[in-house]
Copies of this chain bind each other. A is one copy, B any other.
Amino acid sequence: MSAVTITDVAARAGLSIKTVSRVLNNEPNVREKTRDRVLEAARALDYQPNLSARSLAGARSFLIGLFFDNPSPAYVYDVQLGAASRCRASGYHLTIEPVDTQADDLERVVRGIISTLRLDGVVLTPPVCDDDRVLRALEASGTPYVRMSPDRDLGRAPRVGMDDTRAAYEMTLNLIDMGHVAIGFILGHPDHGATNLRYKGFVEAMTSRGLVVNPAFVKQGLFSSQSGFDCAEAILNQPQRPTAIFASNDDMALGVMAAANRLKLSVPDQLSVAGFDNTPAASTVWPHLSTVAQPIFNMASAACELLISREAAVMVEGTWVSQLMDFEIIMRDSTCPPTPAL
C-alpha cells in the first residue's frame, strides 16, 4: 500500500524531481555525487517507479508482449523464462497474449492489444511469427517486433533462430558414425518451414558420407505423436528395415518408439531412434531419447534484448538484425550402433 513517489525521493535527496528522473533513466549530465545522493534516497525509501505514469508521460511502456498460439507448452514455457529473465534485468515486464491464428478477427484483436498496452515490443513465436495479419498490424502501428524461428519471408523483420539444417546434419552424422547406413527419416508438418530445413540437413549428411537416401524410409509426418507412430509402422512393416529412424521432432520420435514397441523391436538394440526439440518427454520416456536441443531460452532472451536495446527498431544497411544461436546435440539411450546380425 506504499506510495513512495519520485517527489518523495527528490525531497529526501534535496533535489528536483527532474534530476531524480535523470538518474533513474540513466540520462547524462548528472554529477556523480548527485547520482549517488539520489540512488541512496531511492534505496532508503524503497522507491519503485510507477509504470503507468512513466508510460503515460514518456515514450516507453516498459512492457514487452509475447504472442503465441503454440501447441507445445514446453516450448512456450522456455520462451517465457528466457524472455522474462531478460525483461526483468531491465525493469521491463512481460505480458502474454495467446492468439488464435485461425480467428477471423485476429487483426482487430492484435490492433486492440497494441494500442491499449502501447507495447514497446513484441516477441512472436511460431506459428504467429508467420501470420501476415499479425505482422501487418504490428507494422501499421509501428511496434517493433522480433520473430522466433520464422518460416517465411525471412527478411521482413528482425529475427532470432537456430540453424535447423546444420543441427539435423550433425545428428545424422552422429548416427552414421555409429555405423548406421540404412536410416529412416520422418518429415515434419508440410506447412512448417523447419520441416524442409531439417530434411535438407539429413540429406546433406547422408550424401556427404556417400550414403543413399532410401525413399521407402522417408515418410511425411505431421509433428504429432500419432503421425510418428503411423509413419514408423509404414517404414518398419517393409521387408527391408532401416536400423535407425530420425524423426523431425520428439513427439514423432515418441510415436516411433511406441510403434517399435508394438512390433517387438527393442530400442535401441534393434532400432535407434532420434528426435528433435528436447521436449521434457524426451528424458521421461524409457529409454531416454537422443535429440537436438533448441536454444529456446537464449533465443527468447536475445529477442527481448533486441527489443529493449531498440536494435530491432531500425534497419542497418537495409537489413534487419538476425541472430542464429547455438543448438546442442544430446545423445541419450535411444541410439546405439546397429547390431551386426540383422
Contact = CB atoms under 8 A, between A and B. Distances in A.
Given A96-B80, A284-B281, A141 B1 contact: yes
Interface in A107-159: 111-113, 115-118, 140-142
Given A98-B84, A254-B284, A280-B281, A56 B52 contact: yes
Nearest to A260: B286
A93 B73 CA distance: 20
Interface residues of A, number: 52
Interface stretch (A43-51, A167-175, A211-219, A308-316): A43-51
B50 A56 contact: yes
For this chain, the copies found in one complex come to: 2
Interface string A249-260: 001001100100
Contacts of A330: none
B2 A115 contact: yes
Contacts of A50: 56, 115-116, 118
A109 to B, nearest CB: 8
A258 B280 contact: no
B117 A280 contact: no
Interface string A66-94: 00000001101110110011000001011
Contacts of A98: 80-81, 84-85
A48 B116 contact: yes
Q: A51, A91, A94: which has the most chain B beta carbons within 10 Å? A: A51
B142 A1 contact: yes
Given A51-B117, A52-B55, A280 B73 contact: yes
Contacts of A61: 52
A285 B254 contact: yes
Contacts of A94: 95-97
A31 interface: no
A261 interface: yes
A301 interface: no
Contacts of A76: 73, 77
Contacts of A117: 51, 93
Contacts of A342: none
Contacts of A272: none
Nearest to A73: B77
Interface in A223-250: 225, 229
Nearest to A85: B98
* 7 closest A-B pairs by CB: A73-B77, A258-B286, A48-B115, A52-B55, A52-B56, A73-B73, A73-B74
Interface of A: 1-2, 46, 48-53, 55-56, 61, 63, 73-74, 76-78, 80-81, 84-85, 91, 93-98, 111-113, 115-118, 140-142, 225, 229, 251, 254-255, 258, 261-262, 280-281, 284-286
